[in-house]
C-alpha cells in the first residue's frame, strides 16, 4: 500500500471511529448501525473524490490542504459562528480575552456571508479612522475576504504596533468601495469607564466582557456610590459592546440582581443545558438604572440587558440589539487546530430566545447627534430689563478641579455626551424624572 493510500485509509478510519463514538455517547444505540452505514457511504464518496483529485488534477495538490478545506466548508455550512480554526488562527482566538495585542480595534462577524464590522472599539485606530458599525470589509491588503474564515481575517488585521493595514469597505451611502489605511496600535484591555455625569447621576460604559470586567465595574460603582451627593441613578452603556466571556456577563448582571435566573442555556444534548442564577449582593443597589443598547450590542451584552429587563431592574433604551443568542464551544484538535462549534442557545429569565431577534428596548430612540444650537433670547438679555430685587446666589467656581488630571477628562467626557448624545441625555432625563416623581406627594 502506498503512503498516500495509507494516509487516506487512516483518515477515513479515524472519521468512522469518531462518528461511532459520538453516536454511542449520545445514547442512540438503536440507530447506531444505520447511522454508521450512512456515514460510511458518505465518507467513501469523500475518499473517492480525494483520490480522483490527487491523481487527475491539472497541478499537484496537497492532500492536507484539501482535507482542511473540506472541513472548513463543512463548518461554514452550519452557521456563521461555527468554524474550523487552523493552528495559527486557534492561537489568535486564545488571546481575545486576555493579554495585549496589536490591531485595529474592531469587532467583526460574518453577516450574510460577508465580513462585517459589528462595532469599532472606542478610542482605537479603527474608531479614529472612521470605521463604522455595519461596514462590510471586502478586502484586507488587497486580498478578497469572500469565503474567508473569520479567524483568518482577524489574524490578517492584527500585527505589530506601528505597522499599517489597508481595508476596503463597502458602506451604505458610499457610491463605491473605500480604502482605509490604518496604523495598528496596542488595543487597550480596559473594558469599563465610569464617571459622574451630573451630580447624583452616574455613567458606566462597558466596551466588552473580559476576564476582569466585573472586578473593574465593582470598583467603578464603589467610586460612583461614594460620591457626594449620593448616587440617585445610573446609566449603563452597552452600545457597540460585542460581548465576550459568558461568566463575566452573568456576574455583571448579578451586581444588580438579588435572586432569580440570569440566563439559561439549552442545547440538543442535556449535557449542554445550564441555568445561571443571581445571588444576594453584600452591597445593595436600589437606585434606578437605564441601560443603553443598539445594533452593536451582542451576545454577552444582550444577556445583561435581557436579565435586567426581565427582572424589571432596569429600563432599556436605544435600538434593538444584534441578536447573537448562540453558545460556542472550542474543541482543541490533535494537530493544534481548533473546532469552534455552536452547541446551544441563550434564553432570558422569561424564556425569550435572543437568537436573530435581539433585545427590544422599552423605549426605542435612534441615535442622533445633537447639533449646536444658538441660545434663545431671555428676559435678562433685553435692553432696560427690570432687575431682580433679590441677590442671585453666588456660583461656586470649578477652578479647584481644573488640575485634577483624570477628573478633568471625566468632566470633558460628561460634557461631550450631554451636548452631543441624544440617547444619553434622554436616559438622564428619565432618571431625573424618576427621582422627581418618587418625591411627589399624592
Task: Report the catalytic residues.
Answer: 299, 310, 324
Q: How far, rounded to the nearest angstrom, does the alpha carbon of residue 147 sit from its chain's CA centroid?
A: 22
CB-CB neighbours of 151 under 10 Å? 21
Cβ-based neighbour number of residue 387 at 10 Å: 6
Side-chain half-sphere exposure of 109, counting CA atoms within 13 A: 20
Q: Cα separation of 311 and 290, whole Å?
A: 13
Q: Kind and range of the H or E element at 195? A: strand 192-198
What are the contacts of 105-110 at 24+ separation with CB within 8 A?
105/185, 105/187, 106/131, 106/157, 107/208, 107/242, 107/296, 108/137, 108/150, 108/153, 108/154, 109/80, 109/81, 109/150, 109/242, 109/298, 109/324, 110/80, 110/150
For the purposes of burial, counting CB atoms within 10 Å of the CB of 344, is it exposed (0-12), middle (13-18) or buried (19 or more)?
buried
Task: Copy the grid coordinates of residue 3.
Answer: 503512503
Which cell is 45 given?
464518496
Amino acid at each position: 500500500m502506498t503512503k498516500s493510500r495509507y494516509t487516506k485509509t487512516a483518515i477515513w478510519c479515524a472519521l468512522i471511529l469518531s462518528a461511532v463514538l459520538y453516536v454511542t455517547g449520545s445514547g442512540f444505540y438503536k440507530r447506531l448501525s444505520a447511522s454508521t452505514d450512512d456515514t460510511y457511504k458518505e465518507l467513501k464518496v469523500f475518499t473517492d473524490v480525494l483520490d480522483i483529485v490527487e491523481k487527475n488534477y491539472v497541478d499537484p495538490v496537497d492532500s492536507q490542504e484539501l482535507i482542511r478545506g473540506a472541513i472548513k466548508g463543512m463548518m461554514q455550512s452550519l452557521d456563521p459562528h461555527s468554524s474550523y480554526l487552523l493552528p495559527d488562527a486557534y492561537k489568535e482566538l486564545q488571546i481575545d480575552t486576555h493579554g495585549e495585542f496589536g490591531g485595529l480595534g474592531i469587532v467583526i462577524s460574518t453577516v450574510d456571508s460577508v465580513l462585517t464590522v459589528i462595532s469599532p472599539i472606542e478610542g482605537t485606530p479603527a474608531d479614529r479612522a472612521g470605521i463604522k458599525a455595519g461596514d462590510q470589509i471586502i478586502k484586507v491588503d488587497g486580498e478578497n475576504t469572500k469565503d474567508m474564515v473569520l479567524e483568518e481575517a482577524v489574524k490578517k488585521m492584527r500585527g505589530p504596533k506601528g505597522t499599517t493595514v489597508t481595508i476596503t469597505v463597502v458602506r451604505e451611502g458610499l457610491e463605491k468601495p473605500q480604502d482605509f489605511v490604518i496604523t495598528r496600535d496596542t488595543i487597550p484591555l480596559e473594558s469599563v469607564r465610569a464617571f459622574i455625569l451630573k451630580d447624583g447621576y452616574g455613567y458606566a460604559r462597558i466596551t466588552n466582557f473580559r476576564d476582569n470586567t466585573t472586578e473593574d465595574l465593582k470598583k467603578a460603582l464603589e467610586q460612583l456610590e461614594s460620591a457626594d451627593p449620593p448616587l440617585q441613578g445610573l446609566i449603563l452603556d452597552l452600545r457597540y459592546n460585542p460581548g465576550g466571556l459568558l461568566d463575566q456577563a452573568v456576574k455583571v448582571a448579578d451586581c444588580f440582581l438579588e435572586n432569580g435566573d440570569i440566563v439559561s442555556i439549552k442545547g440538543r444534548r442535556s449535557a449542554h443545558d445550564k441555568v445561571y442564577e443571581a445571588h444576594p449582593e453584600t452591597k445593595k443597589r436600589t437606585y434606578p438604572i437605564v441601560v443603553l443598547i443598539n445594533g452593536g450590542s451582542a451576545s454577552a451584552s444582550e444577556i445583561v440587558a435581557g436579565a435586567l429587563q426581565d427582572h424589571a431592574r432596569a429600563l432599556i433604551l436605544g435600538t434593538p440589539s444584534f441578536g447573537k443568542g448562540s453558545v460556542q464551544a472550542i474543541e482543541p484538535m490533535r494537530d493544534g487546530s481548533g473546532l469552534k462549534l455552536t452547541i446551544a442557545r441563550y434564553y432570558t429569565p422569561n424564556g425569550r430566545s435572543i437568537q436573530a431577534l435581539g433585545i427590544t428596548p422599552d423605549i426605542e430612540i435612534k441615535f442622533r447627534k445633537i447639533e449646536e444650537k444658538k441660545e434663545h433670547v431671555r428676559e435678562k438679555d433685553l435692553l432696560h430689563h427690570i432687575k431682580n430685587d433679590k441677590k442671585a446666589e453666588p456660583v461656586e467656581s470649578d477652578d479647584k478641579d481644573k488640575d485634577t488630571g483624570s477628573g478633568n477628562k471625566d468632566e470633558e467626557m460628561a460634557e461631550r455626551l450631554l451636548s452631543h448624545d441624544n440617547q444619553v441625555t434622554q436616559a438622564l432625563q428619565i432618571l431625573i424624572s424618576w427621582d422627581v416623581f418618587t418625591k411627589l406627594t399624592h
